[in-house]
Amino acid sequence: MGDRFQVISLKEAGFDGDIPETHETLEENSLEKAAYVFERIQLPVFSDDSGLEIEALNGKPGVHSAHYAGTRDATVNMQKVLDELQGITDRKGQFRAVITYCDGSQTEQFEGVIKGSLAEEVVGADGFGYDPIFIPEGHQHTFAEMSAELKNTMSHRKRAVEKLADFLHTLN
């Protein structure tokens, strides 16, 4: 969000602890996290939840992206996706982020999406999560092969944060 707003960390706001994620949609988890933190610190907050959604897998891994194979190990999670896509030619997917803003009087959600396709193998060393198997539309390389600067110009989180920032400007 650059220098357009003053953003402080949870620690700076006096929050310490785990934040629940108990729902089956990105929207619900993002809302749960924002409401949970707001209740505890009584300051405007925003939270996000995001995931990789693959058409041929009926939207999976989706909300379970971070632990799709039962672990937070990105290599194991990517391998599960690649195994499930074995022999499938329609490899369309998207990264989707949902950011929830909550200030006690209003709650708003903002979505960011980057469409693309899934590679047939892990390619590239940069990035995190599923970046080595995700090729954004209009590009020939995975996110893991791109510089952080290039990836950040098109990421799903960037798109959601831009909508949040536009909304926050309307409050001033």
Instruction: Indicate which CATH number applies to the domain containing 133.
Output: 3.90.950.10
Which helix (H) or strand (E) element contains residue 34?
helix 26-41
Residue 154: the pLDDT is 94
Task: Tell me, yes or no, whether 20 lies in a domain.
Answer: no
Answer yes or no: pTM beyond 0.75: yes
Closest CA to 19 of 95, 11, 137, 114: 11
Q: For residue 27, what are the β-bridge partners?
A: none
Task: Tell me, yes or no, whether 21 lies in a domain.
Answer: no
In this structure, is the dihedral angle defined by the CA atoms of residues 138, 84, 55 and 162, taken in order, positive or negative? Answer: negative
Task: Tell me, yes or no, whether 16 lies in a domain.
Answer: no
More confident residue, 172 or 56: 56
Note if 49 is an active site residue: yes
Which helix (H) or strand (E) element contains residue 167?
helix 156-171
Residue 1: the pLDDT is 59
Please give the residue range of the domain that contains residue 83. Answer: 26-171
User: Active-site residue among 3, 18, 49, 131?
Assistant: 49
Domains identified in the chain, total number = 1
